[in-house]
Amino acid sequence: MAASPKPRARTSPTASPAKVPHVRVAVIGSGFGGIGAGVRLRRAGITDFVILERAGSVGGTWRDNDYPGCACDVPSHLYSFSFAPNPDWPRSFSGQGDIRAYLERVTDTYGLRPHLRFNAEVSEARWEPAQTRWRVTSAAGEWTADALVSACGPLSDPQIPDLPGLADFPGKVFHTSRWDHDYDLAGKRVAVVGTGASAAQVVPAIQPKVGRLTLFQRTPAWVLPKADREISAVERWVHRKVPATTALRRAALFAIRELQVDAFVRRPGALRLVQQLAERHLARSVADPALRARLTPDYRIGCKRIVISNGYYPALAAPNAEVVAAGLSEVRGSTLVAADGSEHEVDAIVFGTGFHVTDMPIGAKVFGASGRSLAEEWKGGMEALRGSTVHGFPNLFFVIGPNTGLGNSSMILMIESQLNYLIDALTTLESVGATALQPTAQAQRHWNQRLQHKMERTVWNTGGCRSWYLDGAGKNTVLWPGSTSSFRRATRRLDLAEYDLIKRSAVASVSAAQEVSA
């Protein structure tokens, strides 16, 4: 790894060494969001930044989720940066290892190593109004920064339900995103809790080796077949020799996904055909009518994230597997008690129970101009302007902020749109001679009113399910109710009419310089 350059302090050349280094931008997180931010900052000529990562390497989701079977459910050529195409994707849907390796390569290719600070969990970021800057406290030290980018990930802090008796369970317990590779599941009685994408990938990967697999299913998932295959050596050779073919492949995948959006967002009834495909997939995979009934959802397809798998149903139909059509409600010693009262003896529990999504953990650590935390600000539900900026939190930019998630396409498209917005904001600030900006309360309110109005007819709100897209009050603060192209248009340029500008006074500049050099 290249040596880290000293972050530039806002001091004169003759001043004593800075105690708290100052950077123009502090980025939190080094998944696709943080790495993408680093690349785009450098391309915009901004090199005075740090990327603070709590773990010991880059990768985010694709570093943490190394459970057996972990893979992407968006095709590889679409689930990658537009500026860093990879002609060598080995499969049409990438596995975790290949995506993680891709992010490591992007980090090297774009010279991001000097900016990275590992084992630097951010515990607090506080806006200092008098100095018009952020003060960021991390496990690796303190920084001040003109702008703060939160790229902490929507799915990075695992959620394990607070179950009575769980603390006294004598066996092994872990979450899919914190897999314990030292624990051998071979021959063990294993409970998998949850039926989301992670649980559905784990089940077929471990079923052949465990002694008994018990799936605790509160709600069944709709499952579609996965058209995964190896990308042949010839295809890869063509992609390498004629880069336009990689771009063409990506464009085709993009267009297909974009066409599907309308059904999710405006015409949920059109998803009936897709639901029939899923019903046929279930009928073909599971012969036992009782099991088939247990696995048939009672909500419209698309309301929850659709699982894409060829192995999930066959694994659940295997003789050593059992589907308990009820959630796990209590643990009594090594006995798991389901909500239907049934009891199941197990050696290990694997939780595929998702993440803290609508209660973003970084929210409790970021304090704005009034001294209030984002978490307090968002008590009534997460809200931002264009998914990126928040009134009262100057120069705070989100990558994957509120309502920027997708139900059916590549999150990398949304990340890149938010990066366009970030870079435009930073360059606009420079061109108008301001230090900071924050959205007006009115602009933020209008944006969210329009967004929630569009949300009303989406399948996520009308499909008859309770998903992790909804917060405690039933409000969808996670997904974008439109196409990825419409989000791209909405974030192409920062509209100054939606913002209040803040200029650093001469007094503040002097006191800030004195403080960093004290």
Ligand X SMILES: Cc1cc2nc3c(=O)[nH]c(=O)nc-3n(C[C@H](O)[C@H](O)[C@H](O)COP(=O)(O)OP(=O)(O)OC[C@H]3O[C@@H](n4cnc5c(N)ncnc54)[C@H](O)[C@@H]3O)c2cc1C
Q: Footprint of ligand X on this chain (CB under 6 A)?
A: 28-34, 52-55, 60-61, 65, 70, 72-74, 79, 121-122, 151-153, 155-156, 197-198, 362, 399-400, 410-411
The least distance separating ligand X from the CB of residue 400, rounded to whole angstroms, comes to 4
To ligand X, the closest distance from the beta carbon of 450 in angstroms equals 24
Q: How far is the CB of 200 from ligand X (least distance, A)?
A: 10
Cα–Cα distance measured from residue 296 to residue 361, given in angstroms and rounded to the nearest whole number: 34
Report yes or no: 39 and 30 within 8 Å, Cβ to Cβ: no
Q: Which is nearer to ligand X, 55 or 318 (CB)?
A: 55
Q: Least distance to ligand X from the beta carbon of 71, Å?
A: 8
Angle at 470 between CA 328 and CA 94, to 5 degrees: 80
For ligand X, which is the closer residue by CB, 65 or 438? 65
Q: Quickly list DSSP for 32-86.
A: HHHHHHHHHHHHTT---EEEE-SSSSS-THHHH---TT-B-SS-TTTSS-TTS--
Smaller CB distance to ligand X: residue 53 or 498?
Answer: 53
Would you say how long the chain is, in residues?
518
- CB of residue 376 to ligand X, shortest distance in Å: 18
Q: How far is the CB of 28 from ligand X (least distance, A)?
A: 5
CA 324 to CA 291: how far, in whole Å?
10
Closer CB to ligand X, 95 or 268, in the complex: 95
Q: Which is nearer to ligand X, 303 or 400 (CB)?
A: 400
CB of 501 to ligand X, least distance (A): 28
| 485: amino acid identity, one letter | S
Q: CB 507 → ligand X: shortest distance, Å?
A: 32
CB 183 within 8 A of CB 171: no
Closest to ligand X by CB, 185 vs 412, is 412
Q: Are strands 366-367 and 122-128 parallel, antiparallel or unpaired?
A: parallel
Radius of gyration of the chain from Cα atoms?
A: 24
- DSSP strand pairing (133-138 vs 122-128): antiparallel
Answer yes or no: are the C-beta atoms of 435 and 146 closer than 8 Å.
yes
**Closer of 397 and 499 to ligand X (Cβ):** 397
With beta carbons less than 8 A apart as the criterion, state whether 392 and 438 touch: yes
Nearest residue (CB) to ligand X, 191 versus 308: 308
Instruction: Name the nearest CA neighbour of 197 among 467, 485, 512, 481.
Output: 467
